[in-house]
Amino acid sequence: MLTFQLTPVPDITTDRLVLRQIHHGDASEILYLRGHPSLMHFIPRPRAASIEDAKELIDRFLKLAEQNEAINWGITLKGEDKVIGVIGYVKLNAAAHRAEVGYMLHDGYHGKGIIREALAAVLHHGFETYRLHSVEAIIDPVNVASEKVLNHAGFVKEGFFREAQYFEGQYLDISVYTLLTPFRNKQDNGK
């Protein structure tokens, strides 16, 4: 079984981005992301309605990291500290060496390859640092943009589950995608 040490939340840097810990100073950006109807359309979670809701969500992110249960990074552009998105391992399963990744991006930054870049960095970090064997993503089957991001990253569609989630009085379909570690041989030889 793996042991995760998620705090302090490390910065991850890419060519264009800095992924960093989210803090209360980011509450207005988190409110925009988690409160915007079109951004939350494919995310079956209650929408944030106030700065207090955003701060409670940030507190939950911090607590989950402290408990080594989940880790989220704020996506920022290099040289700018404004959070334009969130990405992270929203569930960690130490016994299975597996995690679930989730992400969202401000609508003003769609179509620029930002999530692809952030996802590649988070996957590398998860496989290299946390020694994950596999990462899954659970998406709404009609979320074509997310499907393209996952396909580009090398994920394989493992299944389609009808009415597998229940949210706000509706049963929702889901698609599950999985990516196995590129370090498989290195991990297997280390047993």
Q: Tokens 């609508």 correspond to what residue?
A: 107
Report the pLDDT averaged over residues 112-137: 97
- pLDDT score of 43 more than 90: yes
Nearest partner of 76 among 109, 124, 48, judged by Cα: 109
15 secondary structure, DSSP code: S
- Cα–Cα distance list, 45 to 41, 90, 96, 149, 191 (Å): 9, 13, 25, 21, 39
pTM (predicted TM-score)? 0.93
Structure tokens at 67: 């408990």
78-94: per-residue pLDDT in tens? Answer: 999 999 999 999 999 99
DSSP string, 82-121: ---EEEEEEEEETTTTEEEEEEEE-GGGTTSSHHHHHHHH
Report the pLDDT averaged over residues 119-131: 97
12-13 and 134-139 strand pairing: unpaired
